[in-house]
Structure 1
Amino acid sequence: MPAYSDFSDSKLTVLLKQGDRLAFTEIYNRYWAEMYFHTFRMLKDEDSSKDVLQDVFSALWLKSAALNVNTKLSGHLYIAVRNRVFNLIAQNKVRSDYLSSVAGFITDISSETSLLDEKQLLEIVEEEIRNLPPKMKEIFELSRKDNLSHKEIAEKLGISDQTVKKQIQNALKILKPKIRSAQAGFFVLFFLR
């Protein structure tokens, strides 16, 4: 009998749908490191990345009966990881250096949306940022565009880390509803973490 490591992804998916624990173990061993790298590239946080993978692989096992055998396994995992990361971002649970990591991620998923949509969304986001109160706008842009940490912004502007954090939170409270109302889709998360 061949080893599970010799099985194709599609064969492993079929076995997983049947509740085969060894198939799940092989999928986990085959994809954990790749998915971790992908997740860590977006989050830049080891614990959050591991939490995301725990959720993704747990859901894979628990919902294995509903898997579509025609879906590419790696694609399924990438989408599941992306969705979990976006959920974290929407809940403001990731660190402030997310923006720089998203640039590489967007390259991976650029085929999922047109460049025109991205350009229109960026224009909407930029317009909404321009409408923020001046000090809030300055702090938000230093965080998101210049990729400065809260501490670096606080030192540069002579204010406390907490003031920076609160200003960014307030900016997000203002921006999120406006951008959502423009049906901006998942690229909103490029700016809003």
Structure 2
Amino acid sequence: MDQIPIIYQHWLQAIKERNDTNAFGELYRYCWKDLYQHAARRILDAQDVEDILQELFVQFWEKRHTIDIQMNLPAYLKGMLKYKIIDFFNANKVKNRLLDHWSNHIFDYVQQHPEELETYLALERLLEEELEIMPHNMRQALLLKWEHLPIREIALRMGLSEQTVKNNLTEASKRMRKAISARQNVQNSTLSVFLVLALEQLSK
């Protein structure tokens, strides 16, 4: 039972004191699968998961001279991964994915009603602004829901109860609807009605 921690210590000591790339390669191969599975439960795209892990190990190597060779290595790496995942869900490309999803649903309507273009752009700006100020769990639940994930799957990926996810989605919907009703230039438009109807389906 004590063999694995001893191996970790040998790897960490070699990496820290001798810049040993072979030890780093062993550590990488040993830890990769578990970290990948952990991240893949929360992030849909396999390439995104691989990119995150690549960045994690690069960062680990860059900080090799400051590591504690007595540390719990798996716990340390999972801690790094946790913050990488949070950064991922805060990234603009994820928010843009949500905006693109919403845009695709009403783009045909805007093409047929060009007079609504200004309202459409205003609603996009409003949506992005509200996402910026949402608490992390609320924003993450909303992003995953708009990727068509069921409540149960979202709860699993986020490590939360299903009721907590529902509560976050309900509050997100409430915030969005309130923001729409406060904007006189969009509140009575057909597009805002479309968006409000979509928001009402969030916690189902």
TM-score, normalised by the number of residues in structure 1: 0.55
Residue number in structure 2 paired with 1:181: none
Task: Map 1:160-179 to 2 at 5 A.
Answer: none
- CA spacing shift, 1:86–1:12, aligned 2, 3 Å: same
The answer to whether the 8 Å contact 2:169/2:203 transfers is no
Which string of whole-angstrom CA distances, capped at 9 and with x for unpartnered residues, describes residues 65-94 of structure 1?
Answer: 111223311111111112111111101434
**Displacement of 1:103:** 2.3
Residue number in structure 1 paired with 2:173: 129
- CA spacing shift, 1:97–1:48, aligned 2, 3 Å: farther
Residue number in structure 2 paired with 1:12: 11
Give distance in 2, aligned partners of 1:22 and 1:31: 14
Residue number in structure 2 paired with 1:40: 40
Task: Map 1:96-115 to 2 at 5 A.
Answer: 96=147, 101-107=153-159
- CA spacing shift, 1:68–1:45, aligned 2, 3 Å: same
Task: Map 1:18-167 to 2 at 5 A.
Answer: 18=17, 19-94=19-94, 96=147, 101-107=153-159, 126-133=170-177, 135-140=194-199, 142=201, 145-146=203-204
- Give unpaired runs (5+ residues) of structure 2: 98-146, 178-192
**Displacement of 1:139:** 2.4
**Displacement of 1:100:** 5.7
Amino acid of the residue matched to residue 129 of structure 1? S
Comparing 33-42 with 6-15, greater Cα deviation is found at 6-15
Give distance in 1, aligned partners of 2:22 and 2:11: 9
The answer to whether the 8 Å contact 1:10/1:72 transfers is no
- Give unpaired runs (5+ residues) of structure 1: 147-193
**Aligned-residue RMSD, C-alpha:** 3.3
- CA spacing shift, 1:124–1:100, aligned 2, 3 Å: closer
The answer to whether the 8 Å contact 2:39/2:49 transfers is yes
The answer to whether the 8 Å contact 2:166/2:203 transfers is no
**Displacement of 1:47:** 0.8
Residue number in structure 2 paired with 1:164: none
For these two proteins, the number of residue pairs brought into alignment is 132
Give distance in 1, aligned partners of 2:148 and 2:61: 32
Give distance in 2, aligned partners of 1:51 and 1:132: 32
**Displacement of 1:35:** 1.2
- The structure that has the greater radius of gyration is 2
Structure scoring higher RCO (CA < 8 A, sep ≥ 6) equals: 1
**Displacement of 1:102:** 4.7
Secondary structure of the residue that 2:176 maps to in structure 1? coil
Amino acid of the residue matched to residue 56 of structure 2? V
- CA spacing shift, 1:28–1:124, aligned 2, 3 Å: closer
Comparing 42-51 with 97-106, greater Cα deviation is found at 97-106
